Structure 1
Amino acid sequence: MTEKAKLIAARLPRGFEDRSPGEIAAVGAMIDTIKSVYERYGFDPVETPLFEYTETLGKFLPDTDRPNAGVFSLQDDDEQWMSLRYDLTAPLARYFAENFETLPKPYRSYRQGYVFRNEKPGPGRFRQFMQFDADTVGAAGPEADAEMCMMMADVMDALGLAGQYVVRVNNRKVLDGVLDAAGVATDAQKLTVLRAIDKLDKFGTTGVKLLLGAGRKDESGDFTKGAGLSAEQIDTLVAYLESGVPAAGVEKGSNAHVVATINALAGLIGGSETGLAGVQELASIFGLVSAAGFGGRVHLDPSVVRGLEYYTGPVFEIELTFKVQNEKGQDVVFGSVGGGGRYDGLVSRFRREPVPATGFSVGVSRLAHALKLTGNLGATEPVGPVVVLVMDKDQTASYQAMVAELRNAGIRAEMFLGNTKNFGKQVAYADKRNAPAVIIEGSQEREQGIIQIKDLIAGKQAAAAITDNAEWKAARPGQFEAPRADLVEAIKKLLADQQ
């Protein structure tokens, strides 16, 4: 007797997720809304592949020190290393450089698709997730950056999140100026400082000070080595972070708050030309934002640094401001659902001339979760097809003809393909498919030239009011007959009535 073959365990890889029809439909509706705003601003779609040559993507991932960390890579048959894209921006830079001669400048595009990170998965942290980006390549002025911020605000409003978000804006040039004034000289130390400041929302000022100094030990005992700055250097950087805190009586995000923050930043950069350029860019951006009426939705916030190393100027982040409970049951602000900034050096990796660029990326999965929490995600279960039941196996061709008529009229329809011996199981299948109706034609109906149509939506509603099973069977709620010749018209009317 041979040993039975061992079954393979059905396991989803860690850091990945399956999506149901309801989730796909809801996220699709959200993406359509975002797309409509992007197109209203004059952006056009472009699509790049999942794989790029590894050298094309570069080494820009946050929190990675090894050149091969954070990405999924393989070698093709000519031993060229390729990697799954970790964002949608680096592939755009390659696409623009490769098609430089034929593309309009500035080039305005949007892209949507999956990106991949070879990182340790955790709660809300996936190895595959979807992003939706918009970028302007070839525009150097602050007008392009201001437009990105305003477009993101309009996206949030269109998704029903008005009053529950803020677009936070900073400039990496200002931070570079402050770092110069504080005497932070080496690239390695600057990177450690950027990572520390980026943790402000998570660890607070106290935690950031530890990361700027010797280091920080978390609750599990794991130690993160700090930047090793002196007390004086740390004080300068803390003053920088606190420059965005409004004074008593000043409303956060108001013109008075913006002016006060810009003045404070100007006083912290010393004589740094880079820092001064950053301050002037912020002043220009907020002049444009205020003139367009977005002042209350777009805020100046010096704590925004963004993790990716390719940012060279203004950086932005969408923060949802409502409270949710974390895994520990604590009330916390929902936080970021997207971000971006200016990356003037990324395209120039492929061309000798400077190519300015700025863009924004929305985290689709995280934003969908936020919309679900606020009741703005939309439909959770798409309407299924009309199901033609098979009452007589020898009449399969007749049932298939009904399905063809419905499909030719643009109506979703299918013939039941399972075990047809049990009528109840056929109806249960249609229920599970969220079908709006089933069509029944037995021998009696066929002789009379009629069909029975069971409205499953009305049937569920009527059945809820009937407690007696016999009464339910006798009433046959939601069921009616129609001439066979009027099949399409009867179903069209039923679907219209269900709207």
Structure 2
Amino acid sequence: MSAKKPFRPKARRPRGFEDRTGAVLRAEHHLVSAATAVYDQWGFEPLMTPAFEYAEALGKFLPDEERPNEGVFALEDDDGQWLSLRYDHTAPLARFVAENFQTLNKPYRRYQAGDVWRNEKPGPGRFRQFVQCDADTVGTASPAADAEMIALAADVMRAAGLDDGEYAIRVNDRRILDGVLETIGASEPERRMRVLRAADKLDRLGREGVAALLGEGRKDESGDYTEGAQLDPAGIDAVLDFLAAGGGRRDEVIGRLEPLVGGSETGRAGLSALSEIHDILAAIGVDDSRAVFDPSIVRGLGYYTGPVYEAELLATAHYDDGKPIQFGSVGGGGRYDDLVARFTGQAVPATGFSFGVSRFAAALSALGRTGDQAERPLLIVVAAEKDQSAEYLKVAAQLRAEGWRAEAFVGTGNMGKQLKYADRRDAAAAIIIGSDEREAGEVTIKDLRLGRELAANIEDNREWRESQPAQVRVGREALVGAVSEIIQRWSQH
């Protein structure tokens, strides 16, 4: 009777999750470092909340009492309470503020970067785990805090490697549209939500499609029918005029919006906030090209309570077939004054900015804005003699002390195999100290990148090969200088 075969699990990733490797992670780490450096410079404090929160703290994502697992990944603790992986960084922040309200300095200014998890259907470029990077100010209702957050977002765009003119922070205030709806007698909650949903589709459906959704309704290409907001023609025109009021200087946009809100106190409050935000942005050097007022920005339909904004990429890149890549929004935020009150019953105003790291980093990569995120040259010390490992590790340590990336080969295999390993690692150079070199007090340095290029263009590069040999042998004391020349040559190549 044969022995039962051991169970061997299939090596596979869970659906909707990804393995992120070398270049991708370096790009993301670079972006997070650039953004958090801006946050820190502006006086924000770092915070890291746990991956899990009590499911009830996430509020809006709870589907039922039996299995709170719609939109979030949840499990039942040993005490019968449901825990959920955090869906974003904002709900945990609200819990943290409520739990520590008496001891926190207000306004409380924090930033956080880390993974979030969403139990949603995955798709192309849509994953169930990804990194978000947030900054928030909690405890002040002043429009100055919103203006600061907009300026902060603009500075993050610069820190990420974008030039002015290649991005814009598009700003609106949700209360202005509420004021328009009050003026036309369409402010009841259900109709308001339909108007907001229609407005949010302006980029995709255009003026005609939005007009249909504001009126009787619209049937899409698949035949599905969406009931409209049932506005009369005058009401439809008023909303469309509001959405079209952007363009030009910020003060010009405010001037076009003023007659649309009429005597609505809600609308006037929104216009007043935008006016103050404009004055502050102008005073601190955020001009009309970096931050623009755009009434079509509505964001998160039921989430925000005042100013809202989106960071849009204006720079262009192209697919291999020449078609332009549409980047659109890579981040955004706004004022949300109701989240902490879920815990305390006390109104605690807040405003914040957030961006998805993977999406933003992918856009920067497509634009060729790699900057400092590019991988630094790697040096490989070859293990030419089995009994000299300590010496090879010592040489690698010497190279690292100069600020370079260096490793001593610790695997098995002859020199040819090790050089192939170095090539697969795209190493800049291999350092070889065999018995001949050791006895002579010398070291052989192979410029692997030069060697690869010469191999690919050998007939066209004979003169270059003679003047810049791909392999040199120098005294041990000249190692650092010789390696420095190789790295400098390739940093300029």
TM-score by length of 2: 0.86
* Structure 1 residues 40 and 253: CA distance shift in structure 2, 3 A: farther
* Structure 1 residues 40 and 311: CA distance shift in structure 2, 3 A: same
- Once the two structures are superposed, what CA deviation does each residue of 1:107-139 show, in whole Å capped at 9, x if it has no partner? 222111222222222333332222221111122
Pairwise CA distance, 1:228: 4.9
Q: Is the 8 A contact 1:391 1:420 kept in 2?
A: no
* Structure 1 residues 121 and 330: CA distance shift in structure 2, 3 A: farther
Pairwise CA distance, 1:462: 4.4
Which residue identity is paired with 2:335? R
* Structure 1 residues 9 and 378: CA distance shift in structure 2, 3 A: farther
* Structure 1 residues 5 and 181: CA distance shift in structure 2, 3 A: farther
Q: Is the 8 A contact 1:113 1:131 kept in 2?
A: yes
In 2: Cα distance, 1:15 partner to 1:467 partner: 48
Q: Is the 8 A contact 2:175 2:305 kept in 1?
A: yes
Pairwise CA distance, 1:262: 3.0
Paired residue for 1:467? 459
Which deviates more from structure 2 when the two are superposed, residues 219-228 or residues 446-455? 219-228
Q: Is the 8 A contact 1:26 1:378 kept in 2?
A: no
1:431 to 423, 426, 432: 423
Paired residue for 1:199? 201
* Structure 1 residues 117 and 228: CA distance shift in structure 2, 3 A: farther
1:211 to 192, 208, 213: 213
For the residue of structure 2 that corresponds to 1:79, the secondary structure is: coil
Pairwise CA distance, 1:295: 2.4
Q: Is the 8 A contact 1:153 1:298 kept in 2?
A: yes
Structure 2, unmatched stretches of 5+, are none
Paired residue for 2:443? 451
In 1: Cα distance, 2:398 partner to 2:323 partner: 56
Paired residue for 1:344? 337
Which residue identity is paired with 1:273? E
Which residue identity is paired with 1:209? A
Paired residue for 2:58? 57
- Once the two structures are superposed, what CA deviation does each residue of 1:81-104 show, in whole Å capped at 9, x if it has no partner? 222222212211222222223322
Paired residue for 1:248? none
Paired residue for 2:267? 275
- Once the two structures are superposed, what CA deviation does each residue of 1:400-453 show, in whole Å capped at 9, x if it has no partner? 4444554566653333233413x3221121122222221222232233332212
Which residue identity is paired with 1:179? L
Which residues in structure 2 correspond to 1:338-487 (within 5 Å)? 338-378=331-371, 381-383=374-376, 385-407=378-400, 411-421=404-414, 423-467=415-459, 477-484=469-476
1:334 to 327, 332, 336: 327
Paired residue for 1:318? 311
In 1: Cα distance, 2:68 partner to 2:127 partner: 21
- Once the two structures are superposed, what CA deviation does each residue of 1:331-363 show, in whole Å capped at 9, x if it has no partner? 575311111111111122222432211111122
1:93 maps to 2:80:
no
Pairwise CA distance, 1:491: 4.4
- Once the two structures are superposed, what CA deviation does each residue of 1:124-181 show, in whole Å capped at 9, x if it has no partner? 3332222221111122111111111122222223322321222111111122222333
1:263 maps to 2:263:
no
Alignment: residue pair count: 484
Structure 1, unmatched stretches of 5+, are 246-251
Computed over aligned residues only, the root mean square deviation of the Cα atoms, in angstroms, reads: 3.5
Q: Is the 8 A contact 1:171 1:282 kept in 2?
A: yes
In 2: Cα distance, 1:332 partner to 1:201 partner: 16
Q: Is the 8 A contact 2:238 2:260 kept in 1?
A: no
Between the two proteins, what is the percent identity of the paired residues?
52
Pairwise CA distance, 1:391: 2.5
